[in-house]
Copies of this chain bind each other. A is one copy, B any other.
Amino acid sequence: MNLGQLIRNSASWLQGVADEDGMVVSSRARLARNIGALPFPHKASDAERDRVISQVLDAARTSTWLEDATFLPMEGLEQNAQRALVERHLISPALAEGSGPRGVLFARDESMGAMINEEDHLRLQALVSGFQAEEAGKRVNALSDAMGRHLDYAFDRQWGYLTACPTNTGTGLRLSVLVHLPALVLCDEMERVLRGLNQMAFCVRGFHGEGTRAVGNLFQVSNQATLGYSDGDLVDGLIRITQKLLGFERDAQSDLMREAASQVEDKVWRAYGLLSNARVLSSQEFMNLLSAVRLGRSLRLIDSVPSSFMNRLMITTQSAHLQAEHGSVLQSGERDVLRARSVRRQMAGLASREGGG
């Protein structure tokens, strides 16, 4: 799959299934695995890293999950293609920014993938639509098992799977759910909610990595550590904490509608009008407007914009996608014009499919 095909690819995790009234975008499970006979990537020579890659590719060919997968080596891959992979959640920024032999392998529908020679030899990933954390966990474990029949994983009876960073040791499972919590943000309750939840092995943080502010009212619920927990504990805990958050969000949405229905409806439809008509859209404004439309969908104020459409729009209007579409690197101002055009055309396509207006 080349860059042009990739940016148009229809990733299955964007299809808006099991989205809990538009409140959950996706669920993701990642596993860290290493090959026992070879040093961790940061200690390995280029030749050793190459051996990791070839062993992983051989193992992948035997898995039904990855038999039709695309492998993209990072070395020699242009920077914008690397950024597009980050934008599609197929690789971490760390893999893009690293050096030496490394790459990514991903299934045609982008639901399964593996980073090779990131922090660990293997970071396996399952990415599914909506609130399906358990399913994501099952899939990534199945992938790990399938690959493990051909790879000799570094494993210790007392500690579990060994990883380059001790916090991943144990089951190595990292689960996360991407949730949309606009009413909690609007009602200024997010801080209070987070204080109550950021304990135990879980944390809730703004979308796009640690320490960043919440872009478009999207938050990532994930587990912090894996050592000492079973996969079952982690999945159950994540589901419980996410359900709690969704409950708070539902309450906040009800409060909003009870107290300011016209203003909320106004906010939702203004956002729809701006997305459909603006000629300049920064990434941040776009995400805020999309959040308002998503809220409208959760509240059933707007039914012409499906979750699948919003999810795809969110991915395809990021900078690297716009640049790939345009065929060259753009200044920020040009990107904002192209973003607005892309959003507008997609919105117009949606409106015409809906039968006008």
Taking Cβ atoms with an 8 Å cutoff, the residues of A that contact B are 262-263, 265-266, 269-270, 272-280, 333, 337, 340, 348, 351-352, 356-357
Contacts and interface: CB of A to CB of B under 8 A. Distances in A.
9 contacts: A262-B333, A263-B280, A265-B279, A272-B273, A272-B277, A273-B273, A273-B276, A273-B277, A273-B278
Counting every copy of the chain, the complex holds 2
A269 B278 contact: yes
A262 B279 contact: yes
Contacts of A272: 273, 277
Contact of A278 (B266, B275, B352): B266
Nearest to A260: B280
Contacts of A333: 262
A279 B270 CA distance: 8
Given A356-B352, A356-B357, A357-B351, A279 B274 contact: no
Binding site secondary structure of chain A: helix
Contacts of A276: 273, 277
A270 B263 contact: no
Contacts of A277: 269-270, 272-273, 276
A352 B355 CA distance: 11
Given A356-B357, A357-B357, A270 B262 contact: no
Contacts of A275: 273
A348 B340 contact: no
A352 B351 CA distance: 13
Given A262-B279, A266-B280, A270-B274, 7 more contacts: A262-B280, A262-B333, A266-B340, A273-B273, A273-B277, A351-B357, A352-B356
A22 to B, nearest CB: 19
Contacts of A279: 262, 265-266, 269-270
Nearest to A348: B357
A269 to B, nearest CB: 4
Contacts of A265: 279
Contacts of A337: 262
A53 to B, nearest CB: 45
